């Protein structure tokens, strides 16, 4: 697996993901209507994460879910982060 190229990084930031300081990773905070919506999103995202064998770092408080994506295997962003980000954005709609 290789690191995500510049076009891939631009697509992520265009989609509202923010590059993390001091780390090759992106982050986004989703806010839902309530805890059930937030947890429903996490449940669906978890199934996709297993399917892709690529797992988010995330933190949930009530209706907010903070997600950070990076690939430990390449010590930075990879195509898998782009794929999971796209999936999560679709699930959060
Ligand atoms: C052995 C297994 O395939 C790896 O540990 C997978 C699992 N999930 C993963 N998730 C993430 N975010 N990065 C990885 O490098 C990664 N590697």
Task: Indicate whether 1 belongs to any domain.
Answer: no
Residue labelled with tokens 């892709």: 52
Task: Indicate whether 35 belongs to any domain.
Answer: yes
Task: Indicate whether 88 belongs to any domain.
Answer: yes
Domain region containing 13:
6-92
**Which of 2, 54, 58 has most ligand 1 atoms within 8 Å of CB, for mutation?**
54
pLDDT tens for each residue of the chain, 93 residues long: 999 999 999 999 999 999 999 999 999 999 999 999 999 999 999 999 999 999 999 999 999 999 999 999 999 999 999 999 999 999 999
Task: Indicate whether 47 belongs to any domain.
Answer: yes
Task: Indicate whether 71 belongs to any domain.
Answer: yes
- Phi and psi at residue 5, to the nearest 5°: -80, 175
Count up the domains in the chain and report the number: 1
Could you give the CA distance from residue 65 to residue 55 in angstroms, rounded to a whole number? 14
Structure confidence at residue 9 (pLDDT)? 98
Task: Indicate whether 23 belongs to any domain.
Answer: yes
Taking the CA of residue 56 as reference, the ligand 1 atom at the shortest distance is 12
Taking the CA of residue 71 as reference, the ligand 1 atom at the shortest distance is 13
Residue 33: CATH number of its domain: 3.30.1360.20
Token duo for residue 93: 């709609």
Q: How far is the CA of 82 from the centre of ligand 1 (A)?
A: 14
- Which run of H or of E encompasses 68? strand 64-69
């Amino acid at each position: 697996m290789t690191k995500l190229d510049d076009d891939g990084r631009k697509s992520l930031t265009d989609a509202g993901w923010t590059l993390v300081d001091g780390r090759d990773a992106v982050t986004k905070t989703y806010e839902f209507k309530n805890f059930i919506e937030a947890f429903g999103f996490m449940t669906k995202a978890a199934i996709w994460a297993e399917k892709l064998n690529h797992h988010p770092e995330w933190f949930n408080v009530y209706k907010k879910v903070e997600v950070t994506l990076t690939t430990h295997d390449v010590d930075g962003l990879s195509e898998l982060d782009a794929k999971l980000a796209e999936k999560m954005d679709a699930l959060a709609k």
